[in-house]
Amino acid sequence: MTDAVVRDYSHENFIPFYDMKELVESQERPRKILIMVKAGKPVDMVIDQLVPLLEEGDMILDGGNSFFEDTRRREKYLREKGIYYFGTGVSGGEMGARFGFYYAGRRQGGL
């Protein structure tokens, strides 16, 4: 799938990565990793893969539409590890998309 997307939408700034470690190591610190996966367990699965690769001060931005209590739980868990977490998904469906985004996380994230 990755190869097809790169082929069909090629651009000099569109760089494919085939594993998490390669992606994380390519980023300057503090790293800012945007994840775009289905809300729920898939978000936790990606976070579980990223945590061992990230360092204090790095950030995870969740672009899905996660349940706010999940966002709060993840933010607390990652804060204890020194990693910033922001839920930046659209809340409220079309109304949220048209009239404003919901996001949760620590204000000190420095985005």
Task: Name the CA dihedral angle for 53, 89, 1, 24, rounded to a multiple of 10 degrees.
Answer: -20
Residue 111 lies in a domain: no
What pTM was computed for the model?
Answer: 0.76
What pLDDT score does 25 carry? Answer: 96
Residue 67 lies in a domain: yes
Residue 109 has pLDDT above 50, yes or no: no
Q: How far is CA 35 from the centre of its chain?
A: 3
What pLDDT score does 37 carry? Answer: 85
Whether the CB-CB separation of 3 and 16 falls below 8 Å is answered with yes
Share above pLDDT 90 across residues of the chain, in percent, rounded to a whole number: 50
Mean pLDDT of all residues belonging to the chain = 84
Q: What tens digit of pLDDT does each residue of 84-104 get?
A: 999 887 555 555 555 555 555
The shares of helix, strand and coil residues in the chain, as percent rounded to the nearest 5, are 45, 15, 45
Range of the domain at 58: 18-106
Q: List helix spans (H) across 1-111.
A: 2-8, 20-26, 41-50, 68-79, 93-99
Q: What is the mean pLDDT of residues 49-72?
A: 93
Q: Give dist(CA 59, CA 56) in Å, integer.
A: 9
Residue 31 lies in a domain: yes
How many structural domains is the chain composed of?
1
Q: What tens digit of pLDDT does each residue of 17-33 get?
A: 889 999 999 999 999 99
Report the CATH number that the domain containing residue 42 is assigned in CATH: 3.40.50.720
**Total residue length of the chain:** 111
Q: How confident is the model at residue 107 (pLDDT cuts 50, 70, 90)?
A: very low
Q: What is the mean pLDDT of residues 45-61?
A: 97
Per-residue CA distances from 1 to 8, 22, 36, 69, 91 (Å): 11, 18, 16, 32, 28
